[in-house]
A and B are shown apart, each in its own frame.
Chain A
Amino acid sequence: MEKVIDTIDVQRRQFMVGAAGFTFGVAVGAPALLSGEALAQNSSVRLNDWVTVFTDGTVAIMSPAAEMGQGSLTSLPRIVADEMDADWSKVKIVPSPANDKIYGNPGRGYTQYTAGSATVTGYFNSQREFGAQVRQVLMDNAAQRWGVPVAETSTQPGVVLHEKTGRRLTYGEIAAFAKIPAEAPKVAVEPVATANFRLIGTDTPRVDVNGKHNGTAKYSIDVHVPGMIYGAILREPVDGAGVAKVDDAAARAVDGVLNVVPLKYGVGVLAETPWAAFQGRKALKVTWGSKAQGAGFSTDGGFAKFSNAAKDPAHPVIDWEKKGDAAAKLKTAASVVDQEYRSDYAYHAQMEPLNSIAAVSPAGDAVEIWCGVQSQTIAVQQVAAALGIAESKVKFNHYLLGGGFGRRGNRDADFVIDSVLLSKASGKPVKVIWTREDDIHAGRFRPLYVNRLRAGLDTSGNVAGWYHRAVCDHVMAFMDPVRYKIVKGRDPIALLGTEVPAYDIPDRTIEGVLEHTGMRTNPLRGIGFTANSFATEVFVDELAVKAGVDPVEFRLRLLKQMPRARHVIEETAKMADWKRKRPGRGLGVAYVSYSGTQIAGIAEVSVEKSSGAIKVHNFWCTIDCGVAVHPDNVIAQTESSIVYGVGLALTERISIANGAVEQSNFFDYHVPRMRDVPQMHVKLVQTKNHPTGAGQMAVPLVPSAISNAVFALTGVRLRQQPMLAGRVKTALLAGEKRFA
């Protein structure tokens, strides 16, 4: 498993209530979002804080999450505030500095890495416990001052009470005299099943929204540093190709270009303005090396190779999951369904193109960085390694992310290192901006997939034996070799979603084949689920048809022992009025159990026969992620995921020829626009379970639900995503011939 550092030690270090700074009124009248720097400047000890209580009653709570619109900057402090009984109107949220030991996610091996919809779920227990400890200390201090047993004290939001005597002290008043114990008090928090939450489960405005309406919200691309120049990089078209020859005469002649800097992976252009940097970059003539592993690779070749690997029984595999004896069951099954599914490469398309700013000291022994990343600590480690300096010599200024979706969390922090190398080369602060074309050409994609599934049905229509082999590019080996070692090659980014944990299928064998293609890959919102669950959920539909059972009913039968799963499907079917036929439209269902979150969706589609274009009219969805810390945000994230899923399902395709990406910008990589979005009907089911994730869980539902809906409407099964109009048209024509 992942690295786990000493938990007790962490708890102790995490524990510190505002020992200093009470005299400093920085928080008075400050905006709801304090900068970490503003706070840190006034106290050196405060860097270790989670919570600081000011004498004016302000409670500053550190939030370690990167904020990319998913809302955890607000959600995590809300958990602390609930348990410490803070007055939310007095809470200021402070983005925490980069420090795994203090701010790392306990659910992610104590790394400060915002990904996997794992933030609330991973921090939930520790944030609650920590909030409870703060409350205990406040009560202890009040009790001591009053000379009463602490057991007689209680709290209301922001106040400690002694009911017997009617005395009360606000948290701010206590902060003026509070003594902080050397060790955190032992506290017990109420189990989730019986806890009465006050803030958790209620809505509040997200702290990052203010400023996003008037242009003042700052992303790193907006940063200006005195003396700063600009960098653009022409990157190798295929990873590892390297530079063979550079002719930079024309580039250097561009007005405003200051220098051309050869890099291992490309050529950097430094200029007085971004535009000059882009023009200079355009004028470069570079001959690339030919030794890249991915040279000559193509999407078509990849599919052919993966397809062979998917059906070759002798091919070495990763045993992902094995239960019972699928092979034996398949041999004796009354009927067998055997199908192949395909998914193309897909691109993150976060709206803020990758960028960073670095200022390396003249001696090269220290650096300041301005960037928005999904892991602040990984960025610091990489920058330190690139310069051969201590991590303590890296000052990291973290910004809002203009979208992440997995692109800003790769171990090599490619887009951060760019500015470090160019700042080092120039001796000046440098802002490196990737153009959209760079962002696509050197994109790191959801891999190419071929999924092969085979399952038997017995004479009563029960699933008897289930076999799944997923073949795709390596992801973790490329995007995070450190974690790849830790998981011993069992790549969760690639292979999660192949399991069908909730379905009652006792005999199942699930295997993975990971191919080194030389393509750049990364987690993308919904990770392996987007392809693997596309395959499983369309396949389940095919089984239902074979068994002659309604697809909703078929799933419910497979989920007899899973009441939460059944509930989300039943609720979704009810909302969609599943049994009602509607002329010219088809309904399709999908269900996913994703990191514990139970989620079901139903798509209502029509198909334009002449073009093959699919239109999604409605999408109904029910999500049960246990306790929803911030319900309105769970709904926003679910809608967001549905839209993302619509893009992956219908239009988003990266293709590779000669190892290089063929798409360039939004005119050939089509993400959903307002007109492409269905009416979304999202129901949140709040259950008293530990919160699981919500940031991406609906993404994988969409492609399979759409495919299943198209089948219901046309009788034609679409087994490759994206379901591009041309592909659909071809499939419809083939279907007509078959049915003729």
Chain B
Amino acid sequence: MLKMQKFALTVNGAQREVTAHPDTPLLWVLRENLKFTGTKYGCGAGQCGACTVHLDGKPTFSCLHAIKDVAGKSVLTIEGLSQNGSHPLQKAWVEEQAPQCGYCQPGQIMRAAGLLKETPKPTRSQIVEYMKTNICRCGAYSRIIAAIERVASET
């Protein structure tokens, strides 16, 4: 049986070393070892998107990547998206009062940030297609769309 090991990775621009079982999903390393709790556990199966982070610049489900596979890579979490929540999407999220319970929102924002990186001016259907990976059980979808469109129209 595999034992705990040390792994090095970059999180939000800083080098970090963690001791974890090699199969531990990145999600739990971020949350419990490194205390980046903005990355949420929702399903553990790549179904809900609450755990979305950027891995080497691309949005991905942190629950599906074992720590042994992300060693040496660069991870961006919601905490590192901006200083003080100043990313245009974060500001738009507040402007639109998008969050309800808020639990899925870091994942939604990280996903949306990936979208705008790829497609700065997405159409409504591009937004809907790209964001289908992320569940918002409070059903705040229309405000999430509004927030993304607000940013797209301002840039």
| A residues whose Cβ falls under 8 Å from a Cβ of B | 68-71, 205-206, 208-219, 221-222, 224, 230, 253-256, 273-276, 279, 349-353, 400-405, 433, 435-436, 632-633, 636, 639-644, 665-667, 671-675, 677, 680
Taking the complex as formed, is B144 at the interface, i.e. its CB lies under 8 A from any CB of chain A? yes
Give CA–CA (A216, B90) in the complex, Å.
Answer: 12
Taking the complex as formed, is B14 at the interface, i.e. its CB lies under 8 A from any CB of chain A? no
Contact pick for B138, options A208, A276, A403, CB 8 Å: A403
| B residues whose Cβ falls under 8 Å from a Cβ of A | 1-4, 20-21, 23-25, 28, 31-32, 35-45, 47-48, 50, 77-79, 81-82, 84-85, 90-91, 93-94, 97, 99-106, 109, 127-129, 131-132, 134-145
B91 contacts across to A, CB distance below 8 A? 213
Contact pick for A215, options B1, B39, B43, CB 8 Å: B39
Contact pick for B90, options A214, A400, A640, CB 8 Å: A214
Q: Are B104 and A351 in contact (CB under 8 A)?
A: yes
- The smallest beta-carbon distance between B26 and chain A, in angstroms, is 11
Q: Are A643 and B139 in contact (CB under 8 A)?
A: yes
Q: Are A666 and B4 in contact (CB under 8 A)?
A: no
Give CA–CA (A537, B84) in the complex, Å.
Answer: 49
Please judge, given known A-B contacts A215-B77, A640-B140, whether A352 and B103 are in contact too, CB under 8 Å: yes
Q: Are B106 and A255 in contact (CB under 8 A)?
A: no
Give CA–CA (A675, B133) in the complex, Å.
Answer: 10
- The smallest beta-carbon distance between B64 and chain A, in angstroms, is 13
Q: Are A69 and B99 in contact (CB under 8 A)?
A: yes
Add 8 more A-B contacts to A208-B102, A673-B134, A674-B131 (CB < 8 A): A68-B100, A215-B38, A273-B20, A351-B48, A405-B137, A436-B42, A633-B97, A671-B137
B85 contacts across to A, CB distance below 8 A? 213-214
Interface centre among A212, A218, A255, by most B CB within 10 Å? A212
Contact pick for A674, options B28, B38, B105, B145, CB 8 Å: B145
Q: Looking at chain A's contact residues, is the secondary structure mostly helix, strand, loop, or mixed?
A: loop
Give CA–CA (A734, B77) in the complex, Å.
Answer: 52
B31 contacts across to A, CB distance below 8 A? 222, 274
Give CA–CA (A666, B77) in the complex, Å.
Answer: 23
Q: Looking at chain B's contact residues, is the secondary structure mostly helix, strand, loop, or mixed?
A: loop
- In the complex, the number of residue pairs spanning A and B with C-beta atoms less than 8 Å apart equals 186
Q: Are A217 and B102 in contact (CB under 8 A)?
A: yes
Q: Which chain B residue has the least Cβ–Cβ distance from A645?
A: B139
- The smallest beta-carbon distance between B14 and chain A, in angstroms, is 16
5 contacts between A and B (CB under 8 A): A209-B102, A254-B1, A274-B28, A400-B102, A404-B101
Please judge, given known A-B contacts A351-B40, A351-B104, whether A666 and B135 are in contact too, CB under 8 Å: yes
A672 contacts across to B, CB distance below 8 A? 139, 141
Give CA–CA (A298, B50) in the complex, Å.
Answer: 32
Q: Are B103 and A219 in contact (CB under 8 A)?
A: yes
Give CA–CA (A736, B148) in the complex, Å.
Answer: 44
Contact pick for B41, options A209, A353, A403, A667, CB 8 Å: A353
Please judge, given known A-B contacts A205-B94, A213-B85, A636-B143, whether A400 and B101 are in contact too, CB under 8 Å: yes
Please judge, given known A-B contacts A215-B36, A273-B32, A644-B139, whether A675 and B132 are in contact too, CB under 8 Å: yes
Q: Are B97 and A209 in contact (CB under 8 A)?
A: yes
B139 contacts across to A, CB distance below 8 A? 639-644, 672, 677
Which 4 residue pairs spanning A and B have beta carbons closest together? Answer: A215-B38, A643-B139, A69-B100, A212-B102
Q: Are B94 and A210 in contact (CB under 8 A)?
A: yes
Give CA–CA (A205, B91) in the complex, Å.
Answer: 13
Q: Are B47 and A665 in contact (CB under 8 A)?
A: yes
B48 contacts across to A, CB distance below 8 A? 351, 436, 666
Give CA–CA (A218, B35) in the complex, Å.
Answer: 12
B82 contacts across to A, CB distance below 8 A? 214
Q: Are A677 and B142 in contact (CB under 8 A)?
A: yes
Please judge, given known A-B contacts A275-B28, A643-B141, whether A436 and B135 are in contact too, CB under 8 Å: no
